[in-house]
Amino acid sequence: MGEEHWEEVETVNSDIQAELLRGLLEAQGIPAIISKEGAGRAYGLTVGMLGESQILVPTSSKLLALQVLGKYYAGEFEFPSEDDETADTDTLDEDA
In a domain, 1, yes or no: no
Mean pLDDT on 58-86: 86
Give the amino acid at 10: E
Structural domain boundaries, residue 49: 6-95
Question: For residue 50, with 0-12 CB atoms within 10 Å meaning exposed, 13-18 middle and 19 or more buried, which class applies?
Answer: middle
Q: pLDDT tens-digit profile of 8-52?
A: 999 998 888 999 999 999 999 999 999 986 455 555 555 556 678
CATH number at residue 47: 3.30.70.1530
> What's the pTM value of the predicted model, to 2 decimals?
0.70
In percent, the amount of the chain with pLDDT more than 90 equals 50
Kindly report the CA angle at 67 between 31 and 59, in degrees rounded to 5? 45
Name the domain count of the chain: 1
Res 78: pLDDT: 73
